[in-house]
Amino acid sequence: MRQVLACPGQCVHRTGVFIAVVLVLILAPVVVYAAPYAAYVIDARTGRVLHEENAHTRLHPASLTKMMTLYIAFEAIERGEISLDSRVRISKHAASQPPSKLGLRAGQTIALRYLIRAAAIKSANDAATAIGEAIEGSESAFARRMTRTSKALGMTKTTFANANGLTAKGHLSTARDMTLLGRHLFYDYPQYYNLFSRTSADAGIAKVASTNRRFLGAYKGADGIKTGYTSAAGFNLTASAQRGSKRIIATVFGGKSTASRNQRVAELLDLGFGKAPNRVAVQKPARPAYSGEEETEPLILADAPSGSRNLAPGKTIRLNVAVKTSPRPKARPVPGGAEPSETLLVAMQDSIDAVLAEAQEEPAKAAKTEVIAEAVVEAATAPIEVAPTDTEGADVAEAAPVVPEVPQFVQDTAPQPETLAAIAATEAVDEDAPAEAALSLANASSIAPTASPKPAPSPLRLADTEIAEPVELAAATEPDALPETERVSAPADEPAAAPKSRPEQLVLASLAVEEPETAEEPLEVVTRVSTSGGRQWAINVGHYGSRYNAERQLLQTALVEMNTLDEALRKVVAKRGGYDANFVGMTQEIAELACRRLQARQTECTVIGP
């Protein structure tokens, strides 16, 4: 009986011990697996590795992730994507993040600078998520940009799934990669690095204290950078310290507590200062290529109905409309469907050859005509000497012309239009025509074809001297010679009078065709009639620190509210302190309707009148 009564107590005791042993055996491996240890130490001046242990194992980075969130925020500010004074509207997703958090509420707006302080100093998860959404529109898109940036920095084993570092599938990094990121923060954005050395700061809605204040106050020369903790990651820390000319950066993953982690990081920094040389040339890391724009594959909307607008707001569709093949055009159909005969093709070719030959002969004819025209001008300018005569009209008895032979122009083609015009002009000259014109026309007729009739010479008329009777020129002694000059003899008892000089230029007579005068029509001034139709109203959807942000807000708003803003024009107006994002060219009714619809979506909107 005694043994029976003692059995229940012993059984209970043994059962409790057994359960305790089983729990220890089950939970101990889990704790060890959840927070493995890793360490990495470098000389920040050169990047030289001073110590490493398990540094390339992919582990949970926890809030060390916020170093990348802040790095991209600094990059976006530098490139004008956003500014420190930009007002960020907090989403429900950002406000619902677990601690540590700033306490943001959904729908409220806060300046970006306060979100950066809260994420860097207090390690606020809601602030980090809000930063990512403000820059990329969603946390998932921001996480993809974080991964792209990590690859550009050389963080070969890091992938991100969120902006705050909470445990998630695929959200992993290494001690080596986080140390490299800390070095880039120090050298790439030194103007913002002082954030990580602050023990407290004003975050807009509250004053926040640093999660790294114990280590900053305990280790000499420490000035950053970031702490991190989750149950899966353990206690993590990337620290940087400077003593003299040396700067050391160390990272620890998997600490058991804040105190043990800080102690281990201090030991690693001491190790680094002991190994690093006093003097060394600083080798700053290269800035990564900008990876703000995500590369997307072209999308072909083959099945999208015409005019369909059933697309997600803010989504960009790129159409691949490149021509892949260039088909040869088909030949023109022949009437009747029959191919042209060979005889027809030969006849067509002969016609083409004849046209080409005629076109080639035209330059030769033009050149020959030009030679004849030059000869006419040369003959017209030849000098003519006339002896003085008495005023009583004595007949000329003898003439002793000097007749040199001149080259004859033999024309083997039909007379040209210019020659025929000159001949016709000589027949139309009356007796009172100037001597210069008559002589010019006579010389022109002398080079006409031999078959052409020669016009009779017209009476000569010298300047200031009138000849009562026509002066008859003696015939040339040689019939084939052309007289160049002619002399007229006068009685010997009369003194010879000096003849008047001939004008320097002789001009061929020509018929001037008078064109009928046309009255100039008065110019008609056409004024462009305004077609605005009362579209002088506009709406404003916000004031932004950079043109990029204003244009981005206009595009996002237009995609969200396409029904009322489809015909409105997007316009960014530069004003003091920033840029206004406006939609212009609207009627009052459409402007007021658009604002009501946007305000229903919690979007800032103000109607602007004419």
Domain ranges of the chain: 35-275, 415-460, 537-608
For residue 72, what pLDDT is reported?
97
Residues that constitute the known binding site: 226
Q: Are 574 and 534 in contact (CB under 8 A)?
A: no
Give the Cα separation of 130 and 119 in Å (integer).
10
CATH architecture of the region 537-608: 2-Layer Sandwich (3.30)
Give the Cα separation of 162 and 171 in Å (integer).
8
For residue 298, what pLDDT is reported?
47
Q: Name all contacts of 368-372 with Cβ < 8 Å and 24+ positions apart.
A: 368/413, 369/416, 369/418, 372/409, 372/411, 372/416, 372/418, 372/419, 372/447
Does the annotation count 207 as an active-site position? Answer: no
Name which CATH class applies to 35-275: alpha beta
For residue 138, what pLDDT is reported?
96
Give the Cα separation of 466 and 469 in Å (integer).
9
For residue 184, what pLDDT is reported?
97
Residues that constitute the known binding site for substrate: 226
Does the annotation count 66 as an active-site position? Answer: yes
The partner residues of 40 in beta bridges, in order of sequence, read 52, 251
Is-same-fold flag (35-275; 537-608)? no
Q: Which of 66, 101, 122, 246 is catalytic?
A: 66
Give the Cα separation of 484 and 383 in Å (integer).
8
Q: Which residue ranges of the chain lie beneath pLDDT 70?
A: 1-34, 293-328, 330-347, 361-534
Does the annotation count 510 as an active-site position? Answer: no
For residue 201, what pLDDT is reported?
95
Q: Which of 83, 86, 123, 291 is catalytic?
A: 123
Ranges of H-type helices in 491-578: 547-560, 562-565
